[in-house]
A and B are shown apart, each in its own frame.
Chain A
């Protein structure tokens, strides 16, 4: 797959933004400036950027608890995102949601989700709504290997195929449902083969190869946009960090983590673009510097933003807000 310099720069910038954003969020957490928890997707950047890049600007996404990359790939405002991590009044969710609930419905991001398997039943409804509205929009719904074992997955896939909803499902198999290894019950190929059981196309790809993810998702998008019902893409990938901040990494070895770090999606895309002479080392350094500056601005914005006023605590439970 060939990409232009401009496009390559955009993909690389987004992957760097995700990586640097999460590294900064982690630093701020360690410094005690962000509380709660967070689910980092470092190591999975190609899956987020590759798949979302197959969508048009009016298309929608539904994300997961590990959704920072999806948000950034969909064009989220990094300042509002970081302010939300800091729990600030001008964050995406006015400090009500935090890292796990960032949404921007107006720009097509229908939200991350704190429940594993919580997004896929909604995806059916979004798809049903889009089909009824008939404006040519489609939805890309992320879930993980953990959600694939839930009953919600079976109900959602059944209804999706029954109603032929315009939804591309992207399963990010990052190998672990918290500590439970997905290879104890399935593989990325196995996950993709579920699609055939329900009667839709499914494909498993190397989720750390941005262009492979993009190509497979574009194929799925074309299928869905042409009115053929849903499709599934499984991205085989790996999270470098723990499930959340409570993770002690007792269920996997350092050797395993290091082996996956050798398959760093950012390094792979970078090297491929240098090989193809699409980007130079100088271009890449500039892009990385841009991402660093963007995240630093987001951090400064977040840190200088106000906390929500306690007097507003009970606002916004009901419409209008």
Chain B
């Protein structure tokens, strides 16, 4: 029996084991020390590694991103924590203009192996400034890798791989998944970046989902199975580089695809996924239009009911998937 731990514990375990293995790895961010991080991800790590390697910062998002970028440039392997993905707007100059481009613009004379971890997503009642999903902004930047794990198992393997990767990696965690549990081996293992995972096999239609939408899609698929609709769920896990092969193969198999993500629909990652499918040989296999279900065109509101309706929920996925199952070209 593989032991079960939470998504949050998997983040902590990956960082802890990698820091034990490699003295070049350190964690830097706001309140990551005694406080344990805003979500308690690094709780206990200060006692284990001391303030030299669990580096608390004042409120300096740009400074944190710069500190990670610069330390990586001289051979360290920093993990920067930005408390909420909303605050990556403040860190983006260093991440997007500097870290992402150092290797290319210096003609290969620089390497910047850093990880920027940040929790994204709504559903906590934290409103407009603590609920956003900006993954596609970073997907748009050559030089960055963007990882978005959805299970404790994937978190551990992908985070260890991200720390060892020689490129800057944006590692997007989901707040609502922090407490979800799953089997995670105690020993170290890695999952390659750029490899999707079929979270559920099915024949009738494919759902490509990211973040917490993978879990919601799995719940929707269980219910639709009772109606005789057999859904396959593909979790890209890494948005850049993207495993187009697995996605295209699934769509060719089922002939129908629904893309589900939490981020606002316009300009979201779903547009990229839809285009990748439409441009591929899967196009000829499509039996219905490619559909997208995504966040509404609004900032995330505070009111519980409004917040709930701002992003796809299980019932919305059921409805949309059922509609797609019945659609014919």
Contacts and interface: CB of A to CB of B under 8 A. Distances in A.
Interface of A: 60, 62, 84, 91-97, 101, 103-106, 110-111, 113-115, 118, 120-130, 132-133, 151-152, 155-156, 158-159, 162-163, 316-321
Given A121-B62, A158-B63, A318-B143, A94 B74 contact: no
Contacts, number: 152
Interface centre among A97, A106, A110, A129 (most CB of B within 10 A): A129
A122 B68 CA distance: 8
Contacts of B167: 318-319
Contacts of B63: 121, 124, 152, 155-156, 158-159
Contact of B103 (A120, A121, A158, A319): A319
B197 to A, nearest CB: 22
A56 to B, nearest CB: 16
B17 interface: no
A125 B105 contact: no
B108 A125 contact: no
B75 interface: yes
Interface residues of B, number: 43
23 contacts: A62-B70, A92-B107, A105-B73, A114-B97, A115-B98, A118-B98, A122-B98, A124-B66, A125-B68, A125-B69, A128-B67, A128-B70, A132-B26, A133-B75, A152-B66, A155-B62, A162-B57, A163-B55, A317-B142, A318-B145, A319-B103, A319-B111, A319-B166
Given A121-B94, A151-B62, A105 B70 contact: no
Contacts of B67: 121, 124-125, 128, 159
B97 A121 contact: no
Interface in B102-117: 102-111, 113
Contacts of A317: 103-104, 142-143
B196 interface: no
Contacts of A115: 93, 97-98
Contacts of A104: 109
Closest 9 CB pairs of A and B: A121-B66, A125-B70, A319-B166, A93-B107, A122-B70, A155-B63, A94-B107, A129-B71, A125-B67
B98 A103 contact: no
B73 to A, nearest CB: 6
B187 interface: no
Most buried by B among A123, A125, A162, A317: A125
A122 B73 contact: yes
Nearest to A101: B105
Contact of B74 (A129, A158, A159, A321): A129
A129 B71 CA distance: 5
Contact of B76 (A62, A132, A151): A132
Contacts of B73: 105, 110, 122, 125-126, 129
B166 A126 contact: no
Contacts of A111: 102, 106, 110
Given A93-B106, A121-B63, A126 B55 contact: no
Contacts of A132: 26, 52, 71, 76
Nearest to A97: B105
B265 to A, nearest CB: 28
B71 A126 contact: yes
B60 interface: yes
A156 B60 CA distance: 8
A155 B61 CA distance: 8
